[in-house]
Structure 1
């Protein structure tokens, strides 16, 4: 899911003011947030492709079978299997599928088939009034960060950063899904421990950047996609938020550039806490030398003197947390955990 060719350079930005939604009689408003309706087994979920095209029909079949195995009926976007270059249809087609599924009262959730690139092209074409009037679950990650950010900024709707339809639905991910969406638990996000026959655990380790606890609403997602929205009206407010980030296949010098963008636009100075997931394949390359991710966090995050940790199970990894974007949490940087403080579904 390399987005580099699509994203190119990122523009630096000034202040970004979110446009908060007016809400719906069908959903709860809590602190300016719009909550989606809860899910039940037997509900209809939609599969859409807002970003890159799927490379084969098997990916689409696996996404459908996974949703059915979770207990849902499945409806597919009219163009979810289309192709326009590397994209899953034209911008109008992909945006039309999203708008149609938000407007369809029988559809209770929207699951993105895959990420890749291209979701940001849809943001001016989305019907945010319809999204506010029909708040429902939206699930995906990576390039879907563009949708999470824009919908949060324009409507206040809580969306969900987590597995894509064609991704791995292993035991961990299914357990996360069922606990969050069906049991509607106030989740505690704590990395699973796997010693893997080692004297001390090596996998799923968290590392404290700055200790302490903080409370706030979650904002974030993929670092590359998020920073590419700088200067647009599609970024939510960062004031008092807990920023979570992840990425894949980005050299440290590029991560440096993106963290610099967040610093220059004032975002880092406004957050209350920082959680970094995994940066898969982000090791320094060959050559004269490179800053490490540890050094970047020391340069950009430690001076903020806010609770911060890295290593959360968020990102381009097989087992990943399902994170409510806009959900109110308390994070503990010493323990490397965060937990929901309030329900993220209407009527809970």
Structure 2
């Protein structure tokens, strides 16, 4: 077999080439020298093979999975240091088979060692008192055990792609506060946020969006992804928040949501003014018994009736606009 160095070859092509190789050819390509067969352990053998594959091929994406099982403490650190001599795009750390949790020291070491340019996945229990400034400074990140994540950690995330959190200590009010923070934030935070709340079931999903009409960033100069979409799985206590760039197709929907809120506000305003008119009529009745302020009360009542008519006109205009756009909304 002729040795050919392939640069930037597609992953599918690399996989096919390796599959077509015979066993002797694979050995020749991967272990060209007899002396290289003497390695310290099976893990080192795997790393040597990976190193030689990297010297032959340049894959577009390279993943690394570290199972925290037999390697603990200094053994884990030694193995990880040897592993990250290779360039990886994605790193997965699995500790599901460990009887106890990853220690704070081990968690700090792993997170500090993984390059920030990687996507990081950690499956395994992390102690509740764990904190690390680098925990969310990765391309994308997922922690299956996220009870240690505080609200301050959440709102401090910047320029991340996808953030996934397993079981957290957050409740509905935390998500509502997060949405308000995201709306007012001056910088990009994340492309998406996926998490499980403290409770498995969401009883009142409306509380998540309390006081919110639409999820749109106030600052559209420094941010590209200024629109947000919230998906709530009530029975699972699962929240997915996805952000989007402002495109032509989304502007009509956004305008419709603003009109819906305007419609609600006008409706409330009319109701309040009608209540006020009833009170004015009561006062007017009392003043008909010869009170010298009768004329002024009549003028005030007339002004109020005019305001009600004007609000009703605006209310009807917005109602017709919503019906014309055919948006599903029940007019009260």
Same fold by TM-score greater than 0.5: no
Give the helix-richer structure, 1 or 2.
Answer: 2
Give the strand-richer structure, 1 or 2.
Answer: 1
